Homo-oligomer: A and B are copies of this chain.
């Protein structure tokens, strides 16, 4: 059986994008900053601290939306909840601490780099072919039928050609990458096929389902 996805040796380590520092913000040594992983860029720490006004060390969804607006994009709350579910600590309520924030920021920087590289006409939108190329470029050769199924969720329902802004692109990318990576963990011999127990199947899939409000 041949595999539909590629297993390139290409590293998928997320890289933090470079951000301008917030010139009016003076770094303080709060308890939150001490929990950031060593080497976290100062502007990431500052973005967190600017929204974590009560210095609790945790931020909720609106604070996260605000923090990410400064560095990336004003994500809609649905995307924010999707990101929180993917990045929050398991078995904890839906909040993001310094470690999760640093990981999320770094990951978004990586996706922004991909978005900019494949948005060849600089339209600020990724079309289906650009999405396919982008995923292929990072090692995911996704069958056209699978991409079509995913993209059908992003249109207005008319069947017209879909174009993805950055937030939908991030969602699509993380869904494909996340599900494919989970599948690959079970396909240790890279045959393109995996044997899953019912529990493992459900546990793999449910985190990617809709984030409700």
Of B3, B158, B196, which contacts A196 at CB under 8 A?
Answer: B196
Query: In the bound complex, do residue A146 and residue B206 qualify as a contact, i.e. CB atoms below 8 Å apart?
Result: yes
**Chain B interface: which of A49-57, A102-110, A113-121, A148-156?**
A148-156
Task: Report the Cα distance A179→B209, complex, angstroms.
Answer: 11
Binding site for B on A (CB under 8 A): 1, 3-5, 60-61, 78, 81-82, 84-85, 92-95, 142-143, 145-146, 149-150, 152-155, 157-159, 168, 171, 175, 179-180, 183, 187, 192-199, 201-203, 205-212
Of B5, B157, B175, B192, which contacts A93 at CB under 8 A?
Answer: B157
Task: Report the Cα distance A146→B205, complex, angstroms.
Answer: 10
On whether A210 and B159 interact (CB within 8 A), knowing A183-B198, A203-B149, the answer reads: no
Per assembly, the copies of the chain total 2
Residues of B within 8 A of A82 (CB): 210
- Which residue of chain B has its CB nearest to the CB of A154? B212
Task: Report the Cα distance A158→B95, complex, angstroms.
Answer: 8
